[in-house]
A and B are shown apart, each in its own frame.
Chain A
């Protein structure tokens, strides 16, 4: 077979994917969990991550508690400890940055990095670099990682998936065709079911079939994102890595389930109010303001109702948004129904500060409220999130979000060290007690 390109690594892109990340973090900090089927997401009543031991028993992500119990009665179901997962995630990216500053934090447990041009300064081959990064990650974090090295992002993503868990797969440009021949087109990153169906009509079923199409055909039949994938599969890197800590947000949403379900309007407003406060904290942290706010409720039988508000001026201040939700809540609220989830979405975001003055002094009033929130943000930074919150959130801040089985707090929050409190803890993973 003819190769797609004659260059091994025109660029050297690494994709790193932590294996069963949340469950592995739990096993890394708690030795009683090693080698056992561990499932996280207890507070949501589902499996949000599944350890390899549980996977081997047929447990999959998204399964309900009942399904998990049936397949694997001895599964250990844990409440998610996002604090610990985030600490491990930050460390993962920091370790990769020891080798290159060009790291794209793709998600909490995945990243891309660009190693192009580092052979000489680091005095090692790309293959060695990939192996060293993987070894550092596994040594320092006590987790395993699947790593893929390839000339482009799309192929690196295929490479990391090649051998999971703990694999290191290197796909040189010259070997591309040998790998792509074995990849069904729907397994290519960025090719969805629609495109798969469309391409199948032209007899394209593998990634190699697609890569072998000629450019004119690709240009006339497909949109830009899919043309990019075609280039990348052929070994030409065209999709840039996105640096910076995070992607730009289109919208910010905060939803929370709670037990027991409730028909109480005050409680629902409190839950919505708490979500608004959380969404606004995030918006202020990224210096964004929303021009639209939507809120929604979910009933016990999973029916959704929602409503969208268009704001007269963009804001990221809860005390502006909550009264509006209060006056519009009765449009969707039915006192006879029992609700178990509320959610809030801030959308049509734009940068803070590019506001126009208005005739009625609204802008100036808003500026004063904004100053109050600057103060609140500083208090929260010092004493922990939600040190100061709206009275309307009070019922939701009282007690816990869940009762019964789901109320169990993650281990880290149950093991407070002297001087810590429920809002602020040391920023180093705690492995527990030692004798």
Chain B
């Protein structure tokens, strides 16, 4: 009665009857009220724990591991160890690890891994006219124009450099 400001119990009873008729509440056998959601269901949101809420735990669900961050298609990803300085202009140094993803559809401008004379080569994939070729990111290296088919097997998706720590 305090809630709605009615003077009589009768008025409250009438309001309750209206709510029941609208399907917003139901009465149990003792006549006590059971609230219902308008669509007939009470959504269960989960278990509520008493005490101060900790938003930290919920937020952690949305984090990813470094593995997940660096690797998109896990089953198609591989690592290679970098030798030489042919890609120094792209910021890839000797000793770095590159994570690569196998693909049949490299795009011009990608840093790709190609098979040249039985060895892995990492270069930019470039195109002149209709010819695809490989270009280093270092002026000391000449572009590689394949005599036959250019065998690109993967594209570089990430670079990992681990610095040795003195302890």
- Verify B120–A31 contact, CB threshold 8 A: yes
B41 → chain A, closest Cβ, in Å?
Answer: 26
What residues of chain B lie closer than 8 Å to A122, measured between beta carbons?
A: none
Fill in one digit per residue for A135-154: 1 if any B CB lies within 8 Å of its CB, else 0.
Answer: 00001111000000000000
CA distance A140 to B83 in the complex (A): 25
What residues of chain A lie closer than 8 Å to B82, measured between beta carbons?
A: 433-435
- Verify A435–B122 contact, CB threshold 8 A: yes
What residues of chain B lie closer than 8 Å to A419, measured between beta carbons?
A: 162
- Return the contact of B97 from the options A29, A91, A95, A417 (Cβ within 8 A): A417
What residues of chain B lie closer than 8 Å to A95, measured between beta carbons?
A: 75
Least CB separation from A419: chain B residue: B162
CA distance A139 to B83 in the complex (A): 26
- Return the contact of A430 from the options B78, B115, B118 (Cβ within 8 A): B78
Interface size on A, residues (CB 8 A): 24
- Return the contact of B81 from the options A94, A141, A433 (Cβ within 8 A): A433
- Verify B81–A417 contact, CB threshold 8 A: yes
What residues of chain A lie closer than 8 Å to B104, measured between beta carbons?
A: 139
Interface of B is mostly: strand
B49 at the interface (CB under 8 A from A): no
B103 → chain A, closest Cβ, in Å?
Answer: 8
A418 at the interface (CB under 8 A from B): yes
Query: Given A418-B164, A433-B83, A34 and B115 touching (CB < 8 A)?
Result: yes
Total inter-chain residue pairs, C-beta < 8 Å: 78
B147 at the interface (CB under 8 A from A): no
CA distance A178 to B115 in the complex (A): 43
CA distance A417 to B83 in the complex (A): 13
B88 at the interface (CB under 8 A from A): no
A395 at the interface (CB under 8 A from B): no
B19 at the interface (CB under 8 A from A): no
What residues of chain B lie closer than 8 Å to A91, measured between beta carbons?
A: 74-75
What residues of chain A lie closer than 8 Å to B155, measured between beta carbons?
A: none
Query: Given A139-B102, A434-B83, A31 and B78 touching (CB < 8 A)?
Result: no
- Verify A431–B73 contact, CB threshold 8 A: no
B residues with a Cβ closer than 8 A to A are 71, 73-84, 86, 95, 97-100, 102-104, 113, 115, 118-122, 153, 162, 164
13 CB contacts below 8 A, A to B, read: A31-B120, A94-B74, A139-B104, A141-B76, A415-B81, A419-B162, A429-B78, A430-B80, A431-B100, A431-B120, A432-B120, A433-B120, A434-B120
A residues with a Cβ closer than 8 A to B are 29, 31-32, 34, 91, 94-95, 139-142, 415, 417-419, 426, 428-435
Known: A140-B76, A435-B86. 19 other contacts (CB 8 A): A31-B118, A31-B120, A34-B118, A91-B74, A139-B103, A139-B104, A140-B73, A142-B153, A428-B99, A430-B80, A430-B81, A431-B78, A431-B79, A431-B120, A432-B80, A433-B80, A434-B80, A435-B120, A435-B121
